[in-house]
């Protein structure tokens, strides 16, 4: 039977969209190029604007059971190790009505996969989409093995290197020259280290940062080490290698030096985003998740935005499956999501620059952050507040800190 909606990509974005659409009575067929559904075995932070949606989907309690609701988010200086500022996450939950949660990626992925399947989504693996085309009354996708499929709407949730994106713009991923190393390990491996076992911690330093948080009810511990690659800046092809990791974090504070040997060294993630675009919809073909707005991950909002995208689109699908007015739904989706995600992508870049400052600018940043009221939410309301369904609901943009406003 012909589905109402085809989703290409079985990452967190595609699966969450499948859940949202199935809940609105849409018949979904999802295609994934890999032979099996899966995610990398590292951690993911889910802010209240995401956990609120998991709550709408009836998945929040299960997610909490699989993850950790941390007590605090702390920002520390990577050189001296001292605390710069923090967020009380219990108070944050009260303010936004939903928790800040950290989870193992594969646990969230599995939760969404199981729910999509339970709701009747048809899930197809080993299907590499090679082309998208609008046709009368819908859109068609073509696959590497010669198959095609057609539906009233096609959602391209196929990630950073989306095959659908060239329908909307001729652009390339932007190389940040930063690289991420990850490592999720049993808690016992870090028990003797200097860690905050119940908190999300980021050490910010010149051209680098280091993230730590617990996973799986505290049984595991997640670390992410991010740094600017000198080799990338010099144009070398083999950039971000482990020797650069060690050099980037030499001389940083002891908790980082203790954590560093636990990073996985056989793989690393070069960090790309794309310049924001304000059109995601071409006829009945729509981009979603990283295909539309891949960010640098400094705000921890990439997967979160992808989940919001699917929820917003689903909320605009009136009438369910065959009765849905897809043109209206896609127009409403594009009207609200493009602007929000533009802000996130651009703010993530600015946030990264702030984290990675050196010299006098770093000192000034630290002075400002140390004097920050930890219960000041003016930076967070636009992000952690309820996901807007219309442009009118979109909250005011946070105002970036003016660095020269502080006493050095
Ligand atoms: C180090 C790091 C830390 C991060 N931390 C966070 C965090 O804490 N919180 C957060 O919200 N985000 C975080 N992110 C960002 C987040 O991981 C991504 O934004 C998110 O996973 C994007 O999901 P997606 O489903 O849109 O894309 P992807 O995860 O890229 O999924 C795309 C899927 O489509 C499939 N696919 C691709 N091409 C095709 C094709 N042609 N045909 C069929 N299938 C195809 C792929 O196999 C894949 O399964 C982080 C990213 C990094 C690198």
Last residue of a domain, one of 273, 300, 326: 273
Last residue of a domain, one of 273, 288, 317: 273
How many CB atoms sit inside 10 A of residue 188's CB? 10
Per-residue pLDDT, 41:
81
Question: Is-contact 263 138, C-beta < 8 A?
Answer: no
Q: Are residues 256 and 370 in the same domain?
A: no
- Summarised one tens digit per residue, pLDDT across range 230-276 is 999 999 999 999 999 999 999 999 999 999 999 999 999 999 999 99
Q: Are residues 305 and 256 in the same domain?
A: no
In 3D space, the residue among 89, 28, 361 whose CA is nearest the CA of residue 207 turns out to be 361
Residue 336 CA to residue 333 CA, distance in Å, equals 6
Looking from the CA of 76 toward its CB, the CA atoms found within 13 Å total 25
**Pocket mutation for ligand 1, best pick of 7, 9, 308 (most atoms within 8 Å of C-beta):** 9
Question: Is-contact 310 16, C-beta < 8 A?
Answer: yes
Q: Ligand 1 centre and the CA of 361: distance in Å? A: 33
Question: Is-contact 11 110, C-beta < 8 A?
Answer: no
Residue 168 CA to residue 165 CA, distance in Å, equals 5
Closest Cα to atom 3 of ligand 1: 297
235: left (phi over 0), alpha (psi -120 to 50) or beta: left
Q: Which of 31, 57, 132, 213 is catalytic?
A: 213
Per-residue pLDDT, 402:
45
Taken in order 118, 122, 127, 132, is the CA torsion positive or negative? negative
Q: Ligand 1 centre and the CA of 159: distance in Å? A: 6
- Measured in whole angstroms, the distance separating CA 235 from the mean position of its chain's CA atoms is 27
- Measured in whole angstroms, the distance separating CA 373 from the mean position of its chain's CA atoms is 27
Helix (H) or strand (E) holding 311: helix 302-315
Helix (H) or strand (E) holding 156: strand 153-156
Q: Ligand 1 centre and the CA of 271: distance in Å? A: 12
Per-residue pLDDT, 403:
45
Q: Are residues 182 and 227 in the same domain?
A: yes
Two tokens, residue 229: 């690659």
Per-residue pLDDT, 394:
84
In a domain, 304, yes or no: yes
Q: Counting atoms of ligand 1 from 1, which one is nearest the CA of 289?
A: 26
Residue 2 CA to residue 101 CA, distance in Å, equals 37
Q: Which domain holds residue 159?
A: 5-67+105-172+275-393
CB of 9 closer than 6 angstroms to any ligand 1 atom: yes
Per-residue pLDDT, 287:
98
Helix (H) or strand (E) holding 135: strand 129-135
Q: Are residues 368 and 320 in the same domain?
A: yes
In 3D space, the residue among 114, 126, 111, 121 whose CA is nearest the CA of residue 155 turns out to be 121
In a domain, 406, yes or no: no
Residue 291 CA to residue 385 CA, distance in Å, equals 24
Q: Are residues 248 and 213 in the same domain?
A: yes
Question: Is-contact 256 203, C-beta < 8 A?
Answer: yes
CB of 273 closer than 6 angstroms to any ligand 1 atom: no
Q: Are residues 30 and 117 in the same domain?
A: yes
- Summarised one tens digit per residue, pLDDT across range 4-14 is 999 999 999 99
Q: Are residues 283 and 315 in the same domain?
A: yes
Q: Where are the alpha helices (DSSP H) in 46-149?
A: 48-56, 60-66, 89-96, 105-118
Q: Are residues 217 and 188 in the same domain?
A: yes
CB of 193 closer than 6 angstroms to any ligand 1 atom: no
Residue 112 CA to residue 239 CA, distance in Å, equals 34
Q: Ligand 1 centre and the CA of 270: distance in Å? A: 13
Residue 122 CA to residue 38 CA, distance in Å, equals 16
Q: Are residues 267 and 340 in the same domain?
A: no
Last residue of a domain, one of 216, 243, 273: 273
**Is 96 an active-site residue?**
no
Residue 231 CA to residue 405 CA, distance in Å, equals 34
CATH classification at residue 248:
3.30.9.30
- Summarised one tens digit per residue, pLDDT across range 30-66 is 999 999 999 888 999 999 999 999 999 999 999 999 9
Residues of the chain with pLDDT under 70: 397-408
Per-residue pLDDT, 66:
98
How many residues are listed for the chain in this entry? 408
Per-residue pLDDT, 40:
84
Core vs surface per residue 133-172: b (16+ CB within 10 A) or e: beeeebbbbbbeeeeebbbbbbbbbbbeebbbbebbeeee
**Pocket mutation for ligand 1, best pick of 302, 304, 340, 387 (most atoms within 8 Å of C-beta):** 302
Per-residue pLDDT, 265:
97
Per-residue pLDDT, 398:
52
Q: What's the angle, vertex CA 209, arms to CA 208 and CA 215, rounded to 5?
A: 150
Question: Is-contact 304 356, C-beta < 8 A?
Answer: no
In 3D space, the residue among 221, 150, 143, 130 whose CA is nearest the CA of residue 3 turns out to be 150
In a domain, 367, yes or no: yes
In a domain, 73, yes or no: no
Number of domains in the chain: 2
């Amino acid at each position: 039977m012909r589905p109402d909606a085809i989703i290409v990509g079985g990452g967190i974005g595609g699966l969450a969209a499948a859940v949202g659409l199935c809940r609105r009575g849409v018949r979904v067929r999802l295609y994934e190029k890999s032979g099996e559904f899966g995610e990398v075995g590292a951690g993911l932070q889910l802010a209240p604007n995401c956990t609120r949606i998991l709550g709408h989907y009836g998945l929040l309690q299960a997610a909490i059971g699989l993850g950790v609701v941390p007590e605090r988010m702390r920002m520390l200086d990577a050189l001296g190790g001292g605390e710069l500022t923090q967020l009380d996450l219990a108070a944050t939950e009260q303010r936004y009505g939903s928790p800040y949660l950290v989870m193992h990626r594969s646990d969230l992925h599995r939760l969404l996969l199981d729910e999509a399947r339970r709701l009747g989504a048809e899930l197809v693996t080993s299907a590499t989409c090679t082309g998208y085309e609008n046709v009368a009354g819908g859109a068609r996708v073509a696959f590497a093995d010669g198959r095609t499929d057609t539906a009233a709407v096609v959602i391209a949730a196929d990630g950073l290197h989306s095959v659908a994106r060239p329908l909307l713009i001729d652009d390339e991923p932007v190389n940040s020259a930063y690289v991420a190393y990850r490592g999720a390990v049993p808690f016992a491996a870090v028990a003797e280290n200097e860690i905050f076992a119940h908190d999300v911690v980021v050490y910010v330093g010149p051209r680098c940062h280091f993230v730590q948080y617990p996973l799986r009810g505290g049984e595991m511990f997640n670390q992410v080490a991010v740094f600017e690659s000198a080799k990338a800046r010099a144009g070398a092809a083999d950039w971000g290698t482990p020797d650069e990791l060690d050099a980037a974090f030499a001389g940083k504070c002891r908790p980082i030096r203790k954590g560093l040997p636990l990073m996985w060294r056989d793989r690393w993630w070069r960090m790309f985003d794309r310049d924001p675009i304000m059109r995601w919809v071409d006829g009945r073909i729509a981009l979603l998740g990283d295909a539309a707005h891949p960010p640098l991950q400094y705000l921890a909002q990439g997967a979160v935005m992808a989940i919001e995208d699917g929820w917003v689109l689903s909320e605009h699908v009136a009438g369910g499956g065959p009765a849905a007015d897809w043109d209206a739904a896609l127009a409403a989706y594009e009207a609200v999501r493009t602007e929000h995600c533009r802000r996130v992508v651009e703010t993530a870049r600015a946030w990264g620059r702030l984290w990675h400052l050196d010299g006098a600018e770093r000192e000034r940043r630290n002075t400002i952050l140390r004097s920050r009221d930890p219960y000041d939410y003016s930076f967070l309301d636009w992000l952690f507040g309820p996901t807007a369904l219309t442009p009118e609901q979109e909250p005011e943009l946070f105002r970036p800190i003016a660095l020269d406003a502080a006493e050095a």
